[in-house]
Copies of this chain bind each other. A is one copy, B any other.
């Protein structure tokens, strides 16, 4: 079988030989997240923890939400109080509630091609039938809604493509999603990709008892501070009082395919005190 992208290459090249070029190797992160039993097990596990936590919290209304209050810091987190507002959960969409299989399939077929925002925008507008729910998500969101908790999506997809984005979420079996009510998109509440203004708008109406996302910005924009070096950002997420939130109000989905977790030089990723050099290397 000739895949569409291989065919396109062959047509551009004007010959048949290119169609028989070896298949591009799928990046390891895609193999793990989209293709492996390990990756599927990891997201099922995350959604089980999310569901169990939400069902337990919905029975005993908490005093505070899990949304950081204005003026809070990562070192000294404080949370928006719930008052008497009804319970909700807030989830990111891409690689949290759904997996962009069609887009990543196209990307895997073009190794080395840089990210293109316009291409992503075309995907938002035409890809609704080529997504899949993240394993574990559909059953968890159904159970959460049955418990009377509202499910709200907070995504950086475009408000200009709201109808298509609602359709993508619903075609994956994750809906309902209604823009302005249960779906917040880029530009809602404030211009730009920061999600804190949208979390504040949601918190004005709901008590947010849990959040889920694949990027730290799905929990607080404080993690996206420009001066936060890679090792400091890891320490901020895994130390102090923030560490106690993971699996306990904040639920992270693994995403080794793209995003703010895929940064860092060798010196930033590997701490100075934990390095090793093969003692035989010089003898080869």
Do the beta carbons of B126 and A279 come within 8 Å of each other?
A: yes
- Interface residues of chain A: helix, strand, loop or mixed (majority): helix
Q: Name A102's contact: one of B39, B233, B259, B276 (CB within 8 Å).
A: B276
Interface status of A142 (Cβ within 8 A of chain B): no
A200 contacts the other chain (CB 8 A) = no
State whether B106 touches A278 (Cβ < 8 A): yes
Within A71-119, which residues are at the interface with B (CB < 8 Å)?
101-106, 108-109, 118-119
Chain B residue numbers with a CB within 8 Å of A231 are 35
- Inter-subunit contact B275/A38 (CB<8 Å): no
Contacts of A197 in B (CB 8 A): none
A230 to chain B, nearest CB (A): 6
Copies held by the complex: 2
Instruction: For the complex, give the distance between the alpha carbons of A102 and B266 in Å.
Output: 11
Chain B residues near A48 (CB-CB < 8 A): 49, 246-248
Say which residue of B135, B274, B279 sits within 8 Å of A130 (CB atoms): B274
Q: Per-residue CB proximity of A240-252 to B under 8 Å, as 1/0?
A: 0001001110111
* Set B46, B49, B266: member contacting A105, Cβ < 8 A: B266
* Contact call B3/A267, Cβ cutoff below 8 A: yes
Q: Report the nearest B residue to A258, measured CB to CB.
A: B28
Interface size on A, residues (CB 8 A): 94
Is A102 within 8 A of B4, CB to CB? no
Known A-B contacts A5-B277, A246-B48, A276-B106; the reply to A262 vs B40 at CB < 8 A is: no
A128 CB to nearest chain B CB (Å): 10
A238 and B44 contact, CB distance less than 8 A: yes
Residues of A within 8 A of B (CB): 1, 3-5, 8, 11, 23-24, 26-42, 44-46, 48-49, 101-106, 108-109, 118-119, 122-123, 126-127, 130-132, 135-136, 214-216, 223, 230-231, 233-234, 236-238, 243, 246-248, 250-257, 259-271, 274-282
A-B contact pairs, 7 of them (CB 8 A): A8-B282, A31-B263, A38-B252, A39-B261, A48-B246, A106-B275, A130-B274
